[in-house]
Amino acid sequence: MSADLATLLDGLTRMRGVRGALLVSAEDGITVAGALLEEEQGPALAALAATLLARVRELIAETGHEPPRFLHLQSAEGLLLLAPAAGDLVVVSVAGREALIGPLRLEMLRIAEQLD
Amino acid sequence: MTDEIRALSAQYAADPSSLVFLRLGEVLRARGQPDAALKVVLQGLSRYPHLPEAHDLHARILVDRRDFAGAFDEWDMVLRLVPHHVGAHKGIGFLYYRAGELDRALYHLRAAAELDPEDAGLHAAVERVAGGGEIWDTPMPEAPVDRAPLPTAADHGTDLPFADLAGGSDGLLLVDQHGLRLGGGVRTLEGRDVSEQAAAALAGIAREASRAARLLAMGEWSHLSVECADVSACILNPTVDSTLLAVIDAGTPGGQLAFAADRAAKSARAWLERQR
């Protein structure tokens, strides 16, 4: 796991409500850097995030629009956020319902931009 | 009226026996004018009743107008004239698919894919219907005896899921858990109807979202919002066995998208209850 890449996520993991943040390879669905509070979820979450992103990209491509740059899955107990970078990487974060989506979104987009 | 439509209309008026009606009909259809397109293609067919491309265009216009039985007859006619017509196999395949007749759908989609191996979208559709890429290792089955697919709930009358919404069904698509379109539709910026393809992708997204929410013990997911540079989308489940896509211009505030999606979901829920 790259320490430099993990450092990128430091600010994100300190934000309110964030339970974990990962950098995931969109193609392979494997974790490149980062950590979750519940570490055993990491590999499965990385794979699921990559698959979810692939499906959404497929849908958006069918409709002829620009590729997605931010995804927000909301549920009663929390949220899953994805910010694809220009290359193969995706910034993924998991947060509780107390998280503030606005600042989280901006931070994830900033990290994704740094990865470009 | 755009310059292209004006020019093609003038050309057609000058020579009604020319094949320019095909191009004019395509352009009218792509610009979302199915009634005008229908008029043009019917005029053309009266002169060229055995022209496969005219029947193919007619079928696609009928799909736009949700006359699926009529579209089936037209594509059936095309295949009688040209048994290896890619568009007709593709069209009949999608009609069977939306009616849930997967074996027939697979036969026609695969026939189309083998006639047009460069079409990656078609290739993916075959694998999606077949449940995997192993389909290419199995021999092509015998051609099924075709019959028009049974109408789906969405085909009945004008009772459509978004009929009572002021903005109509533009950018709204309702599908069941198998990716079968129940109502609404989406088009590309050029006006091409991609509802069937989007419907299949949408059902897959709903499944993946549920898996992610389960893994993270987040409870049931309520919505998935997608932000692109030029468009925003909201995906949600009006009922446990349906999924809705709402697409809106990127400049629209997020709250407005959520409001529009919730309103459409409410309308879809009421419609689904009426169908049961």
| Residue among B192, B211, B226 whose CB faces A60 most closely | B226
Q: In this predicted model, which residue has the larger pLDDT, B128 or B10? A: B10
Are B257 and B204 in the same domain? yes
Residue B244 forms contact with A (CB below 8 Å): no
- Whole-number Å distance between alpha carbons of B63 and B74: 11
- Whole-number Å distance between alpha carbons of B253 and B266: 20
**pLDDT over threshold 80, residue B252:** no
How far is C-alpha B197 from the geometric centre of its chain's CA atoms?
A: 6
Among residues B137, B164, B180, the one where a domain terminates is B137
Q: Say yes or no for a CB contact (<8 Å) between B233 and A70.
A: no
- Helix or strand (DSSP H, E) at B260: helix B254-275
Size of chain B in residues: 276
Give contacts of A76 with chain B, Cβ < 8 Å: 218-220, 222
| Residues paired with residue A18 on neighbouring β-strands, in sequence order | A95
The predicted pLDDT at position B25 comes to 94
Q: Say yes or no for a CB contact (<8 Å) between A80 and B218.
A: yes
> Considering the domain boundaries, does residue B207 fall inside one?
yes
The predicted pLDDT at position B149 comes to 66
Tokens 């074996």 correspond to B103
CA distances to A13, A84, A90, B262 from A81, rounded to whole Å, are: 13, 10, 10, 21
To 10 degrees, the CA torsion angle through A30, A32, A34, A35? Answer: 30
| Residues paired with residue B234 on neighbouring β-strands, in sequence order | B225, B246
- Helix or strand (DSSP H, E) at B76: helix B68-81
Are B162 and B266 in the same domain? yes
Instruction: Count residue pairs from A and B with Cβ separation < 8 A.
Output: 109
pLDDT, average across residues B208-233: 91
* A50 — pLDDT class (breaks 50, 70, 90): very high
Are B108 and B205 in the same domain? no
CATH architecture of A3-115: 2-Layer Sandwich (3.30)
**pLDDT over threshold 90, residue B243:** yes
| Domain carrying residue B193 | 156-275
| Residues paired with residue B223 on neighbouring β-strands, in sequence order | A74
State the total domains in chain B. Answer: 2
A23-27, B166-170, B216-220: least confidently modelled range: B166-170
The model's pLDDT over B141-197, given as tens digits with 9 standing for 90+, comes to 877 776 666 555 455 444 567 766 655 567 889 998 888 888 888 888 777 788 888
Among residues B79, B104, B137, the one where a domain terminates is B137
Are B28 and B127 in the same domain? yes
Mutate to test the interface with A, among B123, B207, B214, B215 (most CBs of A within 10 A): B215
Give contacts of A80 with chain B, Cβ < 8 Å: 212-213, 216, 218
B88-102, B185-199, B248-262: least confidently modelled range: B248-262
CA distances to B28, B60, B99, B245, B267 from B184, rounded to whole Å, are: 20, 16, 16, 9, 12
Q: Say yes or no for a CB contact (<8 Å) between A49 and B202.
A: no
Give contacts of A101 with chain B, Cβ < 8 Å: none
How many Cα atoms sit within 13 Å of B36 on the Cβ side?
Answer: 15
Most distant CA pair in chain A, distance? 38
A17 is written with which tokens?
């409500």
Give the chain B residue nearest A43 (alpha carbons). B215
Q: What is the DSSP letter of A74?
A: E
- Whole-number Å distance between alpha carbons of B171 and B247: 5
Give contacts of A91 with chain B, Cβ < 8 Å: none
Q: In this predicted model, which residue has the larger pLDDT, B6 or B249? A: B6
B12-16, B118-122, B226-230: least confidently modelled range: B118-122
Give contacts of B230 with chain A, Cβ < 8 Å: 65-66
Are B160 and B37 in the same domain? no
pTM over 0.95: no
> Considering the domain boundaries, does residue B151 fall inside one?
no
Q: Say yes or no for a CB contact (<8 Å) between B229 and A66.
A: yes
Residue B240 forms contact with A (CB below 8 Å): no
The predicted pLDDT at position B158 comes to 45
The predicted pLDDT at position A69 comes to 95
- Whole-number Å distance between alpha carbons of A49 and B251: 26
Q: Say yes or no for a CB contact (<8 Å) between B213 and A45.
A: no
Residue B211 forms contact with A (CB below 8 Å): yes
- Whole-number Å distance between alpha carbons of A109 and B191: 31
Identify the CATH number of the domain in which residue B263 sits: 3.30.450.30
- Helix or strand (DSSP H, E) at A14: none
Give the chain B residue nearest A47 (alpha carbons). B212
| Residue among B204, B208, B230 whose CB faces A48 most closely | B208
CA distance to partner chain B, nearest, from residue A104 (Å): 14
B22-36, B66-80, B156-170, B227-241: least confidently modelled range: B156-170
Identify the CATH number of the domain in which residue B102 sits: 1.25.40.10
Burial of B114 (0-12, 13-18, 19+ CB in 10 A): middle
Are B133 and B172 in the same domain? no
B8-20: burial string, b at 16+ Cβ within 10 Å, e else: bbeebeeeeeeeb
Size of chain A in residues: 116
The predicted pLDDT at position A57 comes to 95
Among residues B137, B166, B192, the one where a domain terminates is B137
The predicted pLDDT at position B164 comes to 64
The predicted pLDDT at position B128 comes to 82
Q: Is residue B85 within 8 Å of B116, Cβ to Cβ?
A: no
> Considering the domain boundaries, does residue B149 fall inside one?
no
Give the other-Cβ count within 10 Å of B59's Cβ.
27
The predicted pLDDT at position B56 comes to 95
> Considering the domain boundaries, does residue B142 fall inside one?
no
Q: In this predicted model, which residue has the larger pLDDT, B28 or B157? A: B28
Give the other-Cβ count within 10 Å of B210's Cβ.
15
Burial of B108 (0-12, 13-18, 19+ CB in 10 A): buried
The predicted pLDDT at position B66 comes to 77
The pLDDT mean for chain B works out to 84
Q: Say yes or no for a CB contact (<8 Å) between A59 and B202.
A: yes
SS3 B191: coil
> Which amino acid is located at B64 in the chain?
D
Are B106 and B168 in the same domain? no
Give the other-Cβ count within 10 Å of B222's Cβ.
16
The predicted pLDDT at position B150 comes to 53
> Considering the domain boundaries, does residue B15 fall inside one?
yes
Give contacts of B223 with chain A, Cβ < 8 Å: 73-74
The predicted pLDDT at position B224 comes to 95
Q: Say yes or no for a CB contact (<8 Å) between B224 and A72.
A: yes
Angle, vertex CA A48, rays to CA A60 and CA A13, nearest 5: 100
Give the chain A residue nearest B124 (alpha carbons). A58
B164 is written with which tokens?
């009572």
Q: What percent of chain A has pLDDT over 70?
A: 97
The predicted pLDDT at position A21 comes to 93
Residue A38 region by backbone torsions, left for phi larger than 0, else alpha for psi between -120 and 50, else beta = beta
- Whole-number Å distance between alpha carbons of B75 and A25: 43
pLDDT, average across residues A14-31: 92
Q: What is the DSSP letter of B144?
A: P
